[in-house]
Structure formats: C-alpha cells, structure tokens
Structure 1
Amino acid sequence: METINVAEGKKVYFASDNHLGAPTSEESLPREKKFVAWLDLVKQDAAAIFLLGDLFDFWFEYKTVVPKGYTRTLGKLAEITDAGIPVYFFVGNHDLWMRGYFEEELNIPVFHKPQQFTLNNTSFFIGHGDGLGPNDKGFKRMKKVFTNPLSKWIFNWLHPDLGVKLGKYLSVKNKLISGDDDAKFLGEDKEWLVQYAKRKLEEDHYDYFVFGHRHLPLNIALNDRSTYVNLGDWIHYFTYAVFDGQTLSLETYKPQ
C-alpha cells in the first residue's frame, strides 16, 4: 500500500474515461483541449493526479510504435511529471495494451489491477472497474481474449497502419466495449461495482472506493464510514474527483 502525504493547501485529483480519438480524431480534439486545460489548472495545487483508464479509445504499443496523436495530452503529462507531481495511471478496457511507454517516456507508473493507497490517514481502493463484481460478464469475456498472450502476439504482427485502424474501428463500433450502452444508473442493488465494494469491505476497511468505467458520476455511501465514487467521463459529464486531504468530492469542470 503506497502512502501519499497531502500537504496543507494541496489536493489529489482523479479523472477517467476520456476516450480520446472517438468517434474520430477531429471530433475528439475539442474534448482533448478541454482536458489539457483542466490538467493545466489542477497542476497548480496537485499533490498527485490519478488517471483511472480509458484515456484513449484505443491504444496499442508496438515495440517501437505507439498510436499517432494525443500530443497535447502526452506533452502536458510529461510537463506535470517533470515538475515533480506524481501521476498514476490505471489501464482501462480500451487502453490495456500498454507495454512501457508511459513509464519510460512520461515517468508514470501503470497499474493493470486495482491498488490500495493511503492519502494522509484516509484509505483508498482505486481501479478502472472493468470486470469487477458479479456481473459485467461481457467485459470479462472480452478481457480474457484481449489479454491472452496469443491474441497480443497475433495483433503485434499486423502492420501498425492496419492494426491501429482496425483497433479504432472496433473500439468505436462495439458499444459493449465502449460502455455507452450501460451508462445508466441500475439502482444501488444492481450496480456491480457497489456490490464488489461491499464485498471488499467484508475483508478490510476502506474509506473510499474510486472507479471509472461506468461513465456515470456516482457518490454512494456504502455504510457510515465508506463511500463508493465513480468518476463519470469526459464525453458527457466532464467530472472528476478531488481529495483535499480530508474528504473526497465530485466536481464538474467548467472552463472560464
């Protein structure tokens, strides 16, 4: 469990589900500029920034090639980490094929599974959220296919021009992958990440569970000491969470 000290006047920020590049690079560009403006704003008082996956609608790292584009986002992240502000990245179901680029070029650690963090004296359980809980069966099946070494090996041998084009097409085309089809509140008793968090509380206490993936801004009390927060997205809601050293709250970015 990693511990982060949040000094007085500093904050920790959480965001997820930008899906940059979807449905097209041209249509995604205004959203990317908005996100970069947000990064530029929060870096002023950030103790750390957590990005909880699906930053890109499709991402695959060949040995010497990464998808074209996203220069503004990648450059801003490099600027932030160069300034000494830690950034943590959790892969989503769209950008799970990461193989060292973020670590080597941006000095950003990449996590493929949920992790525990302590911010000051507050405990967090953090992850993208795909494939967790009793349901989400479609994602679980797809994740098995996508993470299979044979699948990755076959895709790796496609020419990048073909592989990236195919990956982007499938990512936008398949609503099951993008998560848009289930971006409706199911009710607390049917929200599988809520059920997952409640089961985790039977093993250990966490003050906050923070996930993305659902594309819905949610803030649900699990009991009198624990809260589940879903970050929403940067497609419809432009929401994020901020921890001020004591409490976590959901906010909406509204540029000046």
Structure 2
Amino acid sequence: MKISLQPNKKVYFASDQHFGAPTAKESKIREEKFIRWLDEIKADAQVLFLMGDLFDFWHEWNHVIPKGYVRVLGKLAELKDSGIELYMFVGNHDLWMKNYFEEEIGCKVFFDKQYFEINGKNFLLAHGDGLGPGDKGYKRMKKLFTNPFAQWGFKWLHPDIA
C-alpha cells in the first residue's frame, strides 16, 4: 500500500496499550492519557497505525463487543471522521476481531504483516507476536485461538463467562 504524505502531515504509531488490564481503574488512567495524546496528534496526523493489543482482550460476538472503551472508540471515530486514515494490526490479545472496527469506525484491520510505502520508503508492519523463530508453545496456542472451529465454539459462550 502506498501512502504519500501531505505537507506538514505525519504518520503516528501506537502499540500495546492493553486497555482493561490490570484493572479497569488503572486502565482508565492510561485510556485518558491515550485520548489526550490522540487529541494532540489530531492537528498534524495523516495516518495512525494501531499496531495491536489496543485492548487486553477483544472478542466480537455477533451482537456484542466488550464493555467499556467507549471514549477510546469514540475518539478513534472522531479522528477517522476528521480525515485521518486509521490502520489496525491485530495483536495476540485482540485477534478475535471481526468487522466492528471497519464497519463502525472505518479503520482498516490487518490480520497479517503488510508492506507499506510511505513517502518512497518501504516498511514491513506487523504486531510482531510469533513472527520470529522459537516460541513454539505460543505459536501452537495461536493456531488454536485462530482456528475457525475454536472461534465458532467460543462465540457460543456468554460474554460474561468468556
């Protein structure tokens, strides 16, 4: 994908906020800082890459999304509505995304690494978990978590239990 920056515009990256952890109260403090940062970059941002694990847990059922994060989600929608392009890379804590971010916010979601050309420079972008050698236990667990049958079974759990 090719991106040509407009004069005086920038690309920003954010990763691994893990909103929701370790507790809702502690997370809310980080969420407020993140929202302030999003307000700061709004003036000169052209593109925002969210590099995964925005939430400590994210799973989309057919008619339910995780409780909370309304201010973060609203701020992302505001940025998109103002013309800032949003790209989300799914991490190991939010790999159960479906279509909420694309349909409700307009944020393009990637499940695998992607190549971008930004102002003539090439970038390979990904969340990064499981890409290197080793860590075979995690890679086996990721195969289970991304297995369509396992995901189908999990969605039948009530969100309060899941």
Distance 1:136 1:93 in 2: 13
Q: Displacement, 1:153?
A: 1.3
Q: Determine whether 1:160 maps to 2:159.
A: yes
Match of 2:108 in 1: 109
Give the distance between the partners of 2:54 and 2:137, measured in 1 at CA: 21
- Does the CA-based 8 Å contact 1:4-1:119 persist in structure 2? yes
Q: Which amino acid aligns with 1:12?
A: V
CA offsets, 1:15-41, max 9 Å, x none?
A: 100000001111110001001111111
Counterpart position of 2:69:
70
Alignment: residue pair count: 162
Deviations, residues 52-84 of structure 1 (Å, cap 9, x unaligned): 000000000000100000011000000000111
Identity %: 60
How far the C-alpha of 1:139 sits from its partner, in A, is 2.1
Aligned to 1:131: 130
Q: Give unmatched runs, 5+ long, in structure 1.
A: 164-256
Q: Say which one has the larger Rg.
A: 1
Q: What does residue 19 of structure 1 align with?
A: 18
Give me the TM-score of the superposition, normalised by structure 1: 0.62
**Pairing of 1:48-67 with structure 2 (within 5 A):** 48-67=47-66
- Aligned positions of 1:95-244 closer than 5 A: 95-163=94-162
Q: Which amino acid aligns with 1:108?
A: C
Answer whether contact 1:130 1:136 (CA < 8 A) is retained.
no
Q: CA deviation at 1:138?
A: 2.8
Aligned mates of 1:156, 1:47 — CA distance in 2: 36
* Structure 2 Cα separation of the partners of residues 66 and 136 of structure 1: 30
Q: Write out the 4+ residue segments of structure 1 that deviate beyond 4 Å after TM superposition.
A: none
Once the two structures are TM-superposed, the CA of residue 136 in structure 1 deviates from its matched residue by: 2.8
